[in-house]
Structure 1
């Protein structure tokens, strides 16, 4: 320890005002160790004169010495304010660099006062530093991270915002648009003052703030724009800005907004927006967008209040030159648009090489009432592309097994066959459902299942279940099963019929023989009459 260190420590703690001039005089020492001790002592004392003296040496301080000064910032507020407001150029520069390095938000009100000066390098520097501090604070708030100062960022925001709000009230005098921008990004989407300014065209700050949110590419400003548009009832002025901006930073932020069907505020704002320039059919803009962004642009425009012609123009470009995601989005956008032009785009999509695009077109084919749509859907059910086949099945919902089952008794024989063949084609669960019905405890259900399978042309596919019904406890079910098996040509069918030829029921025997005869099988015991007068169980 240096021999003078005890003296320096004593002067640092002394209540005698004469200690400060003594320490200031010691700043001229050639000893680095003594100099560091004196700087530390002056920063520890609550003396404006001492703090100003230290600031005059700021430009020659080493990083470690500047760190000593920064540690005493909680006691240097008065000196820093005076240096910023009334100090000479050297003091102002030192105080400016100190605030910039330490991030002392308590001095923002002072910086705002300096920035409100109509001209001068100091005013411009204060504006720049204020914007930097506000931007840094916004990043902390967005990241929910505690500042280096160790204070709650929301508390800091409240104090800084109060100063900026007063500056907004003085805007007629200073006309510093940069301070308005700092206020806007820090005020956030829920600020009543900001909303009032945006909703009042004759407010002194209205035009400047609109110009700021139109031109700024600050991440904080873009975050404010997208948040107000996506999650608040956006004022008309803000919707107009959204509608006109086409710069890349804005496009990146805007098209990243999730288009959630449950977000009613976003959809309301979109409907009120009659055009979105960054989502129009502009090849120059589309060329700048990624595949996902092109799809997002189509979805945003489709949900907006833009005219159908604008939406169709973008859809046509994407269908011709867009990526798969964009073509799918274009197809989906057509669902709410009727007319020949939209129909042509949908038919074009059916020929697309991507299955996802075809599927998107298939889902809206019927509702467009295009001639031949039903036959086309039945053809697409057999598509080798699973997405297309599934979409076609979904579109032919009335040809599902449950619907056929519910209507079966109301249909005549011809209608049963027509509908049954289509149900067998559309509903992949038909065979499994028929098999389940054949095992139903109710005789009526079992007999009905055989009738339905006959109408659907699925008897060969349920032959195993029909063979099991040859052992059914009810002879009428056995008769129906034996009769149905004549349409099944597998070897196990013939073997099963031959085994059932000795059934206790004459009616079953007759049905078995008839089926064997149809299948061309040799009947043991020769031919028997196929008609009987009275059937006994």
Structure 2
């Protein structure tokens, strides 16, 4: 009768088990290699016992094989593959149960590789693991701390990083702060790229320094975009010194890609002083419009010399995002604030402010049109005066012609005076009609605009003194 697949596997497993227990070095080596090759996790307990047998000359080989199998299982658990032979989670439970006894009896064997195998597969909720971490006098505590601080195994690093999602023992955060190996730092900083969890923030606020910063921030250059964003978040939300945090922001602004530079520029507002101001001005030259637009908003808040002049220059930028940020930073030079203070300004201040409003506010004409239609006559009169100050009467000619029929004679008079800036046939015709206005003041204003016959002739020939109103 032909053997079933299960029987064949059973025979192979039995042969490997016998080889592991052999005192012959080559046979034991071949058996351990076979166990690794076929990922025979059912043999972990056999390998653990072989490793702990002080009389077994192949004990170290058995421990190495346990660690290799745990790494393989850790890989299976982290990837979505179709495992037809066994369920990785079930295999993990079987292996961890065997290794828990190793952790419990560490004072008897002090086998570093077996404890590392335990840390590679165990999850953070494991009772034995947490007992070790919470009791510095536990026999396995010192070695566990050493492995968590230095092990390059992905499973160990994953375990350490998973503690950041809960209220972890203080010893864990001390390790997180000390580790400076590039692979770990990459994974560590990625955890913060999307923000820092509340469970981690309170402790990180007490961490004043990180091991990976001891090289002067050179490690930052080796990080990817997501990792650099995480470094920025950590700089802003941890307890590291403001100088260190600023150096991280500066390094990213000088060496990161566009996305990370934008993130750094966003956080530059949290720094002040000469160096911060110099960095803001330098960053205005960044090639990315997103970066430029973010730092443009900082110029005035940081009291940078000639901030207003720089922002006015940015209004001419070919980049819309930069122009919009400049306008936003110059919001006090838009129409509505100007209307509020207009009556309190002297003539020189009005001219200066009006010139800025005309440059800064692209909606000034549309908003003035609404003001000229306001119910309150004071607002309509003021709108006329502001339009004159900003020199946009020709653009609002139709509105001024409409105001020649306003119910308030003062508004009609102001409109007549403003229309001297317009030389169109419509404006000239409207002013002629006003010569018959019922109010003498309006009629006199219209006569003053029209002037003598010689003046009227000059208007006809030259188009009127329009240039004086521009």
The TM tier, using the shorter chain, reads 0.7 to 0.9
- Indicate the residue corresponding to 2:387 in structure 1: 454
- Indicate the residue corresponding to 1:345 in structure 2: 279
With normalisation by structure 1, the TM-score equals: 0.68
Larger radius of gyration: 1
Render the CA deviation track for 1:288-312: whole Å, top value 9, x for unaligned: 4457755654553344322223334
Deviation at 1:378, TM superposition (A): 4.4
Distance 1:360 1:133, change over 3 A: same
**How does 1:80-119 map onto structure 2 within 5 Å?**
83=18, 86=21, 89=24, 96=32, 99-118=35-54
Render the CA deviation track for 1:82-102: whole Å, top value 9, x for unaligned: 637755658756764554344
Deviation at 1:169, TM superposition (A): 0.8
- SS of alignment partner, residue 108 of structure 1: helix
Unpaired runs of 5+ residues, structure 2, are 461-470
Q: Which moved more, 1:420-429 or 1:465-474?
A: 465-474
For 2:5 and 2:126, the matched residues in 1 are separated by 42
Conserved 8 A contact 1:244-1:278: yes
**How does 1:165-184 map onto structure 2 within 5 Å?**
165-184=100-119
Distance 1:327 1:294, change over 3 A: same
- Indicate the residue corresponding to 1:210 in structure 2: 145
- SS of alignment partner, residue 466 of structure 1: helix
- SS of alignment partner, residue 366 of structure 1: coil
Does residue 308 in structure 1 map to residue 242 in structure 2?
yes
Conserved 8 A contact 1:214-1:245: yes
Match of 2:63 among 127, 130, 146: 127
For 1:259 and 1:373, the matched residues in 2 are separated by 32
For 1:486 and 1:280, the matched residues in 2 are separated by 72
Unpaired runs of 5+ residues, structure 1, are 1-8, 10-36, 45-68, 526-537
- Indicate the residue corresponding to 2:173 in structure 1: 239
- Indicate the residue corresponding to 2:465 in structure 1: none
**How does 1:428-507 map onto structure 2 within 5 Å?**
428-438=362-372, 442=375, 444=377, 447=380, 450-451=383-384, 453-454=386-387, 457=390, 459-460=392-393, 462-466=395-399, 469-470=402-403, 474=407, 480-487=414-421, 489=422, 491-492=423-424, 494-499=425-430, 501-502=432-433, 505-507=437-439
Conserved 8 A contact 1:172-1:204: yes
- Indicate the residue corresponding to 2:77 in structure 1: 141
**RMSD of the TM alignment (CA)?**
4.3
- Indicate the residue corresponding to 1:61 in structure 2: none
Render the CA deviation track for 1:450-493: whole Å, top value 9, x for unaligned: 24743761524742552563586746565554443334x4x54x
For 1:372 and 1:199, the matched residues in 2 are separated by 58
Render the CA deviation track for 1:170-222: whole Å, top value 9, x for unaligned: 11122222222222232234445434433443332222222222322233333
**How does 1:232-311 map onto structure 2 within 5 Å?**
232-261=166-195, 263-279=197-213, 282=216, 284-289=218-223, 297-311=231-245
- Indicate the residue corresponding to 2:467 in structure 1: none
Query: Which structure has more RCO (C-alpha within 8 Å, separation ≥ 6)?
Result: 2
For 1:500 and 1:228, the matched residues in 2 are separated by 81
- Indicate the residue corresponding to 1:22 in structure 2: none
Deviation at 1:388, TM superposition (A): 3.5
With normalisation by structure 2, the TM-score equals: 0.76
Match of 1:197 among 132, 142, 146: 132
Deviation at 1:435, TM superposition (A): 3.3
Conserved 8 A contact 1:180-1:209: yes
Deviation at 1:399, TM superposition (A): 4.1
Q: Which moved more, 1:164-173 or 1:387-396?
A: 387-396
Deviation at 1:327, TM superposition (A): 5.8
Distance 1:261 1:88, change over 3 A: closer
What is the aligned residue count? 451
Render the CA deviation track for 1:393-416: whole Å, top value 9, x for unaligned: 3333444555556x458x524477
